[in-house]
Every structure is written in structure tokens, then in C-alpha cells.
A = this chain, B = another copy of it.
Amino acid sequence: MTAAHRAGALSHTRRWDTTVVQAVSRPGVLDLGPGYLEPELLPVDLVRDAYATALAEFGAAALSYGADQGNEVLRVGLAAREAAASGYPCGPEHVLVTAGTSQALHLVGTAMAAPGDTVLVDRLSYDFGRRVLTDHGLRLREVRLDEGGMDPRALHDALTAERVAGRHVGFVLLNPTFHNPTGTLVGIDRRRELLAVAALHGVLVVEDDAYAELGLDGTDLPPSLVSLAEYDGVIRLGTFAKTIGPGLRLGWLVAHPAVVSGLARRGTFVSGGCVNHTTSLAIATLVRDGHYDQRLDWLRSCLRERRDALVNALRAGADDLAEFTTPGGGFFLWLRFPPGRTEDELLAAAASVGVNAAAGSRFGTAGGSAIRLAYSFTPPGGLAEAAARLAAAWRPAAGPGQRRHP
């Protein structure tokens, strides 16, 4: 490593401004708003070395048009991980390299549905993902969500209603593992029930599994929907955005080989080849050489520490103010407030003590006031401090004079 590289590694946040990144927190604010990894959790040196390794190993092949479906090194590596996680066979023919979940949602939204089609989504779901779909003229219909995930009975009723109304359903979009925004992990029985309902109606399921590798309690997770369905009628979306870095714009999807090859034959792939070829080779070397697993172990321990700091401080100070379940993984904790508290009021109180968070209604129909707290973007000490400030700010008896300012 050169001196220049070392200097770079010491200045991770030097250009963290809106000429470069998407959004910047207000100065001095403890930001529990965005579903971002904080700068210190982004592996600058690892990624630099990955590009150098890939360019040395693959040479010019790393810069030419990539294989449409994605390079085989990455697809083999990802397939082996899928198989290990689900216990169901997976090969490179099941994997298509994508440019991240946003591009993959756009791809399935344009390839598997037509403008005017309905997409069924959890009553609460990833807001910008909704926008990718509605931009394309897709009509969203929210389905009831309970503590265990999407309600299969409500899904059945919604699909029946769409059929009766003569509307074509493009797909059902689920986010069963550490759901954004609620943090819910859908159990295996509920997974099977949802798949059975979709199969009964002959409707495709799109499984957004962005947080699937971020289980924080060391316990086995339920198999993916795509593996439970044995690749029949499910497309699973994975991403490196939450595990390495979103700027890479790299992800993958897992589906039946006929679906994968059909997508890879579309003009965008045939014209440009793999949608993120050079970067996909860099990350392929990390997966193949074990660096990705090492990174995941470290990242999970960092996120576990952050989650615990937030949960413990909320339990200590705000247990009576809002209901929440400790998330088993992912980035988010979901607070549900009793009637009488508006989200605007709660967020204003948070802002008055220098804490930013996300309104529950941003994600759909919350059915009451709710707030999403992200523990991914703030160090443990800041999360504990934020929870203490929120508890004070949200306590109904507290007058303005008792609020602590940062």
C-alpha cells in the first residue's frame, strides 16, 4: 500500500458533500433517518484492492462488454451462497447480475409488467421502490401487514378483487427478511402460505431481499421464497448496497434459469452486456477469496452493537412511549405510537433535540403514528444519545424547558 493510499484511508469523510453523495445530514444532527451505512462502515481499502485484483487478473476482459448474464466467477460464488443459505440447489444459471435493487426493480417492472398493471405491496414498504414502479405506470395496491408480515388472507382477497375487476396483476412485491421499514422477519410458515396464495392465483412474486445477509443474532434465517418455491414463480433480488457499498450499484437476482436467460436477452443486456461489468468482477474476487464473508462478520458485529445500543437506550427511557420489537437484523427499528401523537409532532420534537428520523407514513399506510429509526448511519454512542434525547422530547409531560438541546 502506498503512502497516498494510506492518506486516503484516513480521510474517509473528506468529500462527503452533496456534490458527491446523495444526501448529507444537517450539521450536529444525530441522523437516524436514512437507510445508509455510515461512512466509517464503508470498506474503502477493500474495494480499492478488489478493483486492482480484478484488473490484474482479468485484464482487458474487465473493461470490454461483459457476459450479458454477468461474469461466471460472481454467479458461481453467489449461487454457492444461495444454496448454502437455503439448503436448496442453486447454480450460476439461476443468477443474473444487476446494477442493484433499483435497477432490478426497474427491470422486473418493465419486463414482467406493463403500464396499468397492478403490483401488490405491503401496506408499508420501501418508498423509493414504490416510485420506481409507479414511474412506469404501474398501479400499487397495498395489502394488510401484521406482525408476521403480509397477511396471506388479505393477499388472497386482493388478488381476487383484482381479478374480479379485470385488472392484470404484474407481481406481488415482498420484502420478507428484515422488512423496510418495520424490521419484520417473515417466518417459514407465513412464507409458505404467501407462496401458496400467489401460486393459486398464478401471480409472480418478487422477493426484495436486500437485508437478507444482515441477521444479527447468529440464528438461521428461514429459506428464501425463491428456494421454497423451487424457482417457480419467484424472482429474488439481492444487493451489495447494504453489505459493501451502494455507490457500487451492484446486485443480482435469483430465478428460474428460463426467467434469467429471458431477462438477459433483453435489449439493455444484449446491447451493453452485463449492466455493471467492471465492478462485478471486482466484487467477484471478494466473494471468491473469502473477503466478503470476513467483511460480513465484521459488519454484522458493528450493526449488532448499534442495534443493541439503540434498543437498550429506548427500553431504558422510552419503553412506555411507543411499542417496538427488537429487530433480528437489517437496519431498522419501527416505533408505533399510541393514538393522539401525530408524526409531524413527533418529528418536530425529535428535530428540536437534534435527532432526525423517518415518518412512518413515508412508507405507505401506517395505520397510526409511527417512526422508523435507522441504526446503520450513526455510531453506538450517538444512537444511545439519540434514544435518550427522543425519550425526553417525546415524553408528553415534558415542557420545552426540559428538552435537552445538543
Contact = CB atoms under 8 A, between A and B. Distances in A.
A65 interface: yes
Interface stretch (A32-40, A299-307, A395-403): A32-40
A65 B19 contact: no
Interface string A11-41: 1111111111111000000000000110110
A332 B11 CA distance: 46
A16 B137 CA distance: 41
Contacts of A271: 101-102, 105, 126, 128-129, 131-132
Contact of A247 (B11, B17, B62): B62
B275 A99 contact: yes
Contacts of A114: 115, 137
Contacts of A58: 14-15, 20
Prevailing SS type, chain A contact patch:
helix
A52 B48 contact: yes
A267 B106 CA distance: 9
Contacts of A14: 57-59, 61
Interface stretch (A68-76, A181-189, A223-231): A68-76
A121 B52 CA distance: 41
Most interface-central of A65, A110, A131 (chain B CB within 10 A)? A65
A80 interface: no
Nearest to A76: B19
Contacts of A55: 8, 44-45, 47-48
B42 A65 contact: no
A64 B246 contact: yes
A244 B64 CA distance: 9
Contact of A67 (B18, B36, B71, B102): B18
A266 B106 CA distance: 11
B8 A268 contact: no
A66 interface: yes
Given A55-B44, A267-B132, A273 B61 contact: no
Interface string A105-142: 11000110011000000000010111111111100000
Interface string A371-398: 0000000000000000000000000000
A274 B18 CA distance: 12
A64 B278 contact: no
A151 to B, nearest CB: 26
Contact of A61 (B21, B110, B135, B270): B21
Given A63-B244, A136-B110, A246-B63, A20 B71 contact: yes
Contacts of A67: 18-22
Nearest to A23: B65
B101 A272 contact: yes
Given A22-B64, A128-B267, 15 more contacts: A13-B59, A15-B61, A16-B60, A22-B65, A44-B60, A45-B55, A63-B248, A64-B245, A102-B268, A103-B268, A110-B110, A131-B266, A131-B267, A132-B267, A248-B278
25 contacts: A8-B59, A11-B59, A12-B60, A16-B59, A16-B64, A18-B67, A20-B62, A20-B67, A22-B64, A23-B65, A36-B65, A40-B60, A42-B60, A43-B63, A47-B63, A47-B278, A48-B52, A99-B249, A99-B275, A102-B271, A106-B110, A114-B137, A131-B267, A132-B268, A276-B279
